Chain A
Amino acid sequence: MRAHPSLTRRLLASTVPAALLLSLGATPARTDPLIGDVMNSYGLAGAVETPTAEMLPDGTLGGTVSYTELGRRHDLVFQLHPRITTALRYSRVPGINDHNDLGHIWDRSFDIRVQALEERGWQPAVSIGLQDFMGTGVYSGEYIVATKTLTPRLRATIGLGWGRLAGEQRDLDADDEGGKPNVGDWFTGSAKPFGSVTWQATDKLRLVAEYSNDKYTRETASGEKDAPGKHINLGAYYVFNPQYQVGVYALGGDIIGAQFSFALNPRNAPFPSGLEKAPAPVRPRPAPAADPDGWSGAWSADPSAQPAIQTVLAKALADEGQKLSAMSLSTNRAEVRIQNDRYIQQPEAIGRTARLMTRALPPSVDTFVITSMRDGMATSSVTLRRADVERLENTEAGKIAAVAQISDADPRPGNLLASADPSPRFKWRLGPYLELGVFDPQDPLRYEVGAELKASYEFGPGLVLSGRVRQRAFGSLEQRGPGIPGERGEHYTPEEYLANPANEYMDGVPRVRSDTRMYTGNHSPTVPELTLAWYAQPASSVYSRVTVGLLERAYGGVSGELLWKPADSALGLGVEIDRVRKRDFEDAFKFRDYEVTTGFVSVYYELAQGYTAQLDVGKYLAGDKGATISLTREFANGWRVGAYATKTDLSAEKFGEGSFDKGITVSIPIGWATGTPTRDRATADLGSLSRDGGAKVDVQGRLYDKVRDAQSVKLNQGWGRFWR
C-alpha cells in the first residue's frame, strides 16, 4: 500500500495551534521555513561540515553520529520552533590533551541557528548561527548563510563564517570552568566565505559538494594527523526511510568520514489515532412516551437506583482503564469522579466517560459533570449538557469543546457516594532495568542491568506507600569516589573517600551530588525509593503533598509541597520545603551525617502553543541560594522537550566544570511509539554534570504535572481526542 504523500504531508506539515482547532477557523496562509534533508557532521541541516540556512520540520528530535580520524561527534538536535534549531554535541576531539591525559578530549558543545528570512521568490532563505557558543569552544564559530532552491532537486548555499568556519581556531577555554557563553568571541576575527551545492539525485540519494575553510588546527596540532589537503569536501547521503540516513564523505579528498542520523518527528506517529478499542457509542434517550418514569425523575425515589447505576458505570469505566472513585446523582444532574489510568490525554478519558454516562443514566439526568481525580485530588470538573453530547457525537472536536465548561472541582461536595474500589490496593511489578551513565571522559558510556521489584499499597485515596528494590545482575557502572581536588582526572577510591570525613566537603561546599557514583556499583540489593506519600486538597484549587521516607537514592527525609493552580488559570504558584539527610552509600536504611533543609517558591506559567515556563527560587541541597528557570515545549500528543538552568550564589569556581547547572529533558509517551493507550513515558535528563551547586532533591510525585493534566490549557490542547 502506498499512502498519498501529499496528503500525509498536509496532515503533518502546518502548525495549527490549539486555538485554531477550537475556533473552527481555516488555516491561515503562511510560508514555511526552508527544510533541509541532509544532516551535516555537526548534526544540523547542512552540507558535509558546513551549515546551510535550512531548518528541520518543527519539533523534530534527532541524533547524528559522525566519524572521521579528526573527530567523532554525537549530536542531538531539536527544532525548538519552526525557525530555531538547537543542538547539543558530545565530541571526541583528538590532538588536545587535558588533565585526563588521554591525547583527546571529550567535549560538550551547543549550537543554535535561527532562520531570519524565508525563501520567497528570488530571495533565498537566510540564517544566522552560533556554533559551539559556550564552554570550551573547540568548534567555536559563527555564520550568516543563504540557501536557495535552484531547481526542485538542486540547492545552493553561500555563507560567511567566523572562527572555526574561517579556519581560525579560537583559544580554548578548557582550563577554567567553561559552560558560559563566550560572547566576547562571537563574530570576531576575519570572516571567510564557504558554500555548498546539494543535489537530490534520486528520491533517496543526495550528493553534496562543499567548500570549507576549516583547517582542523587543534586536531592536527600534535602532528600525528594531517589536515585535509584541499578545501573541497564531497558527500553522499542515503535516506533509507524518512527517519534514518547514512552518509559517507571525503574531506579534501583524503580523509574519509561516515555518519548515521535519525530523526523522530512528534507529528509522525506510527498510529496517529492510537490502537485503542473503539469507544462505546452514545445512546440517545428514548422518547418521553417510551420511558415516562425515567423522564419524570420518579426513578430517583428508589434508593437502590444510584448504587445499581454506579456499579454498572464503574464496571464499564474500568473496562476503559478508568476508576470511578465517587458519584453523586440527582434527578437531573450526575457528577462522576474518575481517575484516568490509561489515556495520555485527559479529554479522551472525559469523552469516553460522557458516552458511557449516556448509556447508564436515566433520561431525566440532563447535566453531566465529569471530575478528574489524581491521587485523591479533584483537579477539574468538566460540565456538559447531555443534549450536546447526543447532538455533537460524530462532529469535529471543536464543537463539543465550545460547549464544555471547565471549572475548579469542589474538593468535598456533600452528596458524593464513594465507589467500592475494585482494583487491588496492593500493586507490584517485577521487571528488568537498565541504567546508563554518560559524559565521563574516561569512560563515555557505562551501564548496569538488573531486576527491579516495584510495589505500592494504597491505604485510601491519596495515601500511598510505594517502593522499589533493585538487584544488579551485571554492568560496567562501578562505585567510585569524586575527583580529587587539585588533581584533575584522578578520583578517590571508595575506601579513600570514606576514610576521611573531610573529603565530603570541597572548598567548604558539602558534596551533595559530586559523590553520586558512590551510590552506584552496589552488588547487593538496593532500595532506590521507599516512601509514604499523602496527597490532599486543603481548599478549592489548592493542592498539597507530604512525602516521608527514602525519597531518592541519595537522600531521605520529609518533603512537603503546596500548590495553587486554578483549573482555568495559566498561572500557578507553589511552595516546597524538604528536610533531608544524606543516605548511606551502601546500607539501604542507614544515613550519613549531612542534613539540610531546602525550599523553593515556584511560579509556573503556561504560555501559548504548548510552551510552559517555571521559575524556582530558593535554597538548594548544598545550602546555596539561587534560582532555576526552565522552559518546556509540550505537544498535544504528550511529547515534552525542555531546557533548564540553575544559578546560585555558589561562585563558578566553587561550582566547578560547567560554571552553573543546566540541562535538557526529553519525555516521549510510550503510546506515541506503539499506538497502545498508556500513560507511561520514556524520559531522559541530559547534560547535568554531577555537581554540588544548584542541586535539588529528586522527590517523586511533584504536584504540578499531576494537577495540570486535567486543567484548561492541557484539556484544550488535547481536546481533539474527546471523541476518540
Chain B
Amino acid sequence: MIGTTSRAALAVALIAGLSACGNDDSGREANPLLIAAKSAAQTATRIRGAGKPQQTAAPRTPEQMATEALRVNPGPLILVGFESLGRNQVMAMTGQNGSTRTYMTPSEEALILRNGMVIGTRGLGNDLSVAESGTEALIHAGRSGQARRVMRYFSGDGLERPLEFDCSTAPGPKPGVVVESCSGHGAKFQNNYLPQGGQIPVSRQWLGPKLGYVTLQVLRP
C-alpha cells in the first residue's frame, strides 16, 4: 500500500515537473472542471484583495518616476495614478490620431485621451472601450451646463455594452477647477479637471465600475 502511494506521489511529481514544455503553446485541451477551479481561484484572489501589485523592484516615488521618464523619453508623457490598482505609472504617447492620443506603459497597457479627457483604456482587463462625452466643450470652456455621457464597456459575454449617464458641469470649489457630476443606473461619479488653453494638465477621472478613478498629470504636453 505504501509502495503504491509513494509510486503515485512520484508520478505526480514527475508529471507536475513536466507541466507543459515545447514550442507549441496552442491547441491545449483542458477539462471544464479545471476552468471552474481556475475561475474560482481567481475570484478568491480578488476577494482577498491580492490583486495588488507585488513588485519586488525598489519602490519609487511618482516624482522619481517622472524625473527619470522625462530624461529618457523625449516625447509627450503623462503620470497616471490608478487609484483602484494602487499604483502610479508614467505613460508615453505612442500614437496620435487627430486630437486623440494613445499613451502606453512599458508593459503595453494603454490610456486613450482626447484633449486631456479619457475616452478609452486597453490591456487592463476591465477596459473602457470608448467614452462619448457631450460635456467636452463645456469642460474646456470652464462653463456650467448639462450633457449626456455614454461609456461603452466590453462585457463578459463578448459584446460592447453602453452605460449612459446624465452629467452636469460647474466650476469647482477651487479656482480653475471644473467639476463634472454624472449619474445613471443608480450610480454617481465626479470628474475634476483643471483646463488650460484646450488642454487639461491635471485631472481626476472615472474610468468605470471596476477600474474606478485615475489621476492624470501631464508631464510633457
B68 close to A (CB within 8 Å): no
Given known A-B contacts A277-B123, A395-B130, A724-B122, A424 and B114 have beta carbons under 8 A apart: no
The listed residue (B20, B49, B123, B132) touching A429 by CB distance below 8 A is: B20
CB distance from A426 to the nearest CB of B (A): 8
Given known A-B contacts A282-B95, A396-B160, A638-B158, A4 and B153 have beta carbons under 8 A apart: no
A110 close to B (CB within 8 Å): no
Chain B residues 75-115 with CB under 8 Å of chain A are 84, 94-98, 100, 102, 104, 107-110, 112, 114
* Across-interface contacts of B112 in A (CB, < 8 A): 281, 394
Given known A-B contacts A270-B46, A424-B23, A680 and B29 have beta carbons under 8 A apart: yes
In whole angstroms, what is the CA distance A530 to B185 when docked? 56
* Across-interface contacts of A345 in B (CB, < 8 A): 158
Task: Closest B residue to A719 by CB, please name it.
Answer: B160
The answer to whether B43 touches A429 (Cβ under 8 A) is: no
B152 close to A (CB within 8 Å): yes
The answer to whether A430 touches B22 (Cβ under 8 A) is: yes
A301 close to B (CB within 8 Å): no
* Across-interface contacts of A267 in B (CB, < 8 A): 155-157
Given known A-B contacts A430-B18, A673-B38, A272 and B11 have beta carbons under 8 A apart: no
The listed residue (B24, B44, B212) touching A454 by CB distance below 8 A is: B24
* Across-interface contacts of B129 in A (CB, < 8 A): 273, 396-397, 720, 723-724
* Across-interface contacts of A8 in B (CB, < 8 A): 209-210
The answer to whether A682 touches B153 (Cβ under 8 A) is: no
Chain A residues 424-446 with CB under 8 Å of chain B are 424, 426-432, 434, 436
A450 close to B (CB within 8 Å): yes
The answer to whether B15 touches A449 (Cβ under 8 A) is: yes
The answer to whether B125 touches A474 (Cβ under 8 A) is: no
The listed residue (B15, B154, B156) touching A450 by CB distance below 8 A is: B15
How many residues of B are in contact with the other chain, CB < 8 A?
Answer: 79
For chain B, what secondary structure do more than half of its interface residues adopt (helix, strand, loop), or is it mixed? Answer: mixed
Task: Closest B residue to A359 by CB, please name it.
Answer: B95
CB distance from B23 to the nearest CB of A (A): 6
Chain B residues 138-158 with CB under 8 Å of chain A are 152-158
The answer to whether A394 touches B100 (Cβ under 8 A) is: yes
Chain A interface: which size bin? Answer: 35 or more
The answer to whether B12 touches A449 (Cβ under 8 A) is: yes
A31 close to B (CB within 8 Å): no
A265 close to B (CB within 8 Å): yes
CB distance from B132 to the nearest CB of A (A): 8
Given known A-B contacts A3-B209, A474-B8, A682-B34, A635 and B158 have beta carbons under 8 A apart: yes
In whole angstroms, what is the CA distance A284 to B99 when docked? 11
The answer to whether B157 touches A451 (Cβ under 8 A) is: no
Chain A residues 213-259 with CB under 8 Å of chain B are 241, 243-244
* Across-interface contacts of A369 in B (CB, < 8 A): none
Chain B residues 1-57 with CB under 8 Å of chain A are 7-8, 11-12, 14-16, 18-32, 34-36, 38-40, 42-44, 46-47, 49
CB distance from B80 to the nearest CB of A (A): 14
The answer to whether B153 touches A718 (Cβ under 8 A) is: no
A283 close to B (CB within 8 Å): yes
In whole angstroms, what is the CA distance A678 to B30 when docked? 13
The answer to whether B20 touches A270 (Cβ under 8 A) is: no
* Across-interface contacts of B108 in A (CB, < 8 A): 277-278
Residues of B within 8 A of A (CB): 7-8, 11-12, 14-16, 18-32, 34-36, 38-40, 42-44, 46-47, 49, 84, 94-98, 100, 102, 104, 107-110, 112, 114, 119-120, 122-127, 129-130, 132, 152-163, 185-187, 208-210, 212
Provide a sorted-by-A list of 13 A–B residue pairs whose CB atoms are within 8 angstroms. Answer: A6-B185, A10-B185, A266-B157, A268-B156, A272-B154, A396-B129, A396-B162, A451-B14, A473-B14, A668-B35, A675-B125, A723-B129, A724-B122
8 further interface pairs, Cβ-Cβ under 8 Å (given A281-B112, A283-B95): A275-B124, A277-B107, A432-B15, A432-B20, A672-B35, A673-B42, A674-B42, A723-B130
By Cβ-Cβ distance, the 3 closest A-B pairs, closest first, are A636-B158, A281-B95, A637-B158
